[in-house]
Chains A and B, each alone.
Chain A
């Protein structure tokens, strides 16, 4: 499913005197099959944006009490924000938002804090039960839960009857992800999926996401503030700053704008930093800024061999 966002703006406390923009005129298209990254500071609007994609924040035109403004002759018609995801129109009151939520899964920051059920299997089945239109049989549920738990790299028979609170932090996060992907969403959105994990845990989670991207969810969107994570993993990235969309391009092009990113207060990946230092010394290296490619290019340039 393709995501098409047009003229998306959002204000906090729209009635209060100190209303503040969280999003201003965002236009963005995410194609099916992308591994998309969203970068930005805290407060840049990235989380607000992501919550729109799942209709947790509804567009004004989708609110029950919405009435279109009367347009006087000679005046331009007001432009309402619009979001289309596949065939779903998020600006339409009649859209089945529940069904949409089963197609667009969101894993929030620190998802392990949303676990609640007595056993892992029951917790993973929570979303499945909520979304299914007809009651699922015991076997069907069990099979789907097993598939999801195994997809996140856990041993089904070892964890299914365990309490989710007895698991380790990394395992809890995997269970929480399983609880979202169990409905086979076509689009999977993760808010800071690697937050609070050690480097090894981070790499494992990222590997898991690539596995899911290949086999389970067509589109994966990750929200992050870690440039290295974005440059290593994403096909395309959007940069949010002060409620606006500043850039939207593949990381290999994005980090050519290193200076601008730094003025926005964002870090650039280590590889981009080294490339800049080399450039100062007169050594030009063209790379897509992933570690592997960068090392190879540098070694090519200096005439060594990769080890």
Chain B
């Protein structure tokens, strides 16, 4: 069903990563992505995998749950793998039949690419598994603070983000309810041509949009009624602060990037 979307669901346990500063986690994610792209050989990717394993252990999120987020890019993964396997130009031929040639270099490069993509997705999902949407937006707001100097509405942006995240499950539930109601009136969503399926969506989409607008209005009224007035006078319920955990994360990330740069010098296959 629609509810079973694995990516981006907060996994509620208490762990080293869960209690780290969301700002540090956001920055580390960026650093990690940089490291993954800096890595140009298997030593580098190996270091990244090591770093990911450490993070996974420190998060206490079940491994299966994290790897379920790979499902979303499975098609992309298989597609790129096939393209690279057959079209990457290499020298040592492993296998050839008719016009199809697979070389040793292509095989290794494909493996490298798959590792890179899987790492990207799993590391990113680790962030949302260990950070609640609220602290994520808090962290983002704090990181974007300098933009306030050029009058960029940072607080409002963070508010919009947290409201959007908050309403995803609500709207999914609403969609299911409306779909059921229309099914009871004989609507079919799984049968028929592409055109008739697209048409079948209208009786769901219109009530959904209307209810989204209604909810937006109600939320606006409720915020007004509690005298919400934007960022100027607001204090935070939970203050985020930099702690020893964040120092550890910082050092590990610095070590990872330095390591990846260093092992570039090692002999071996370079991509």
The chain A residues found within 8 Å of chain B, CB to CB, are 51, 54, 56, 98, 101-102, 105-106, 108, 111, 113-117, 126-127, 130-131, 165, 179-180, 183
A180 to B180, CA, bound (A): 13
Contact, CB under 8 Å: A126 / B185: yes
Given contacts A98-B188, A108-B177, contact A114 B183 (CB under 8 A): no
**Interface pair B206/A111, CB less than 8 Å apart:** no
> Given A108-B177, A108-B180: A180 and B207 within 8 A (CB)?
no
Q: How far is the CA of A281 from the CA of B9 in the complex (A)?
A: 59
Q: In the assembled complex, which residues on chain B have CB atoms less than 8 Å from the CB atom of A127?
A: 185-186
- Check B184–A54 contact: CB distance below 8 A: yes
Interface residue from A113, A116, A165, A180 paired with B184 (Cβ < 8 Å): A180
Q: CB distance A56 to B185 under 8 Å?
A: no
Distance in Å from the Cβ of A302 to the closest Cβ of chain B?
49
Query: What's the minimum C-beta distance from A131 to chain B, rounded to whole angstroms?
Result: 4
| Bound CA span A105–B183, Å | 11
Q: With both chains docked as a complex, state the minimum distance between the C-beta of B164 and any C-beta of chain A, in angstroms.
A: 21
Bound CA span A102–B180, Å: 14
Residues of A within 8 A of B132 (CB): none
- Which residues of chain B have a CB within 8 Å of any CB of chain A? 177-178, 180-188, 202-203, 206-207, 210-211
B203 x A113 contact (CB < 8 A): no
Interface of A is mostly: helix
Tell me, rounded to whole Å, the shortest Cβ–Cβ distance linking B68 to chain A.
12
Q: Are B187 and A114 in contact (CB under 8 A)?
A: no
CB distance from A43 to the nearest CB of B (A): 14
User: What's the nearest-Cβ distance from chain B to residue A119, in Å?
Assistant: 13
Contact of A130 with B180 at beta-carbon distance under 8 Å, contacts A116-B206, A116-B207 already known = no
Report the nearest A residue to B191, measured CB to CB.
A98
Contact B186 A113 (CB under 8 A): no
Cα(A56)–Cα(B186), bound, Å: 11
Q: How many angstroms between the C-alpha atoms of A101 and B210 in the bound complex?
A: 26
Q: When A98-B186, A127-B185, A130-B185 are in contact, do A56 and B180 touch as well, CB less than 8 Å?
A: yes
Q: Which residues of A contact B178 (CB under 8 A)?
A: 113-114
- Could you give 22 example pairs across A and B, Cβ below 8 Å? A54-B184, A56-B183, A102-B186, A105-B184, A106-B181, A113-B207, A113-B210, A114-B181, A114-B182, A114-B203, A114-B207, A115-B207, A116-B202, A116-B206, A117-B203, A126-B182, A126-B186, A126-B203, A127-B185, A127-B186, A130-B185, A130-B186
Given the complex, which residues of B lie within 8 Å of A180, measured CB to CB?
A: 184-185
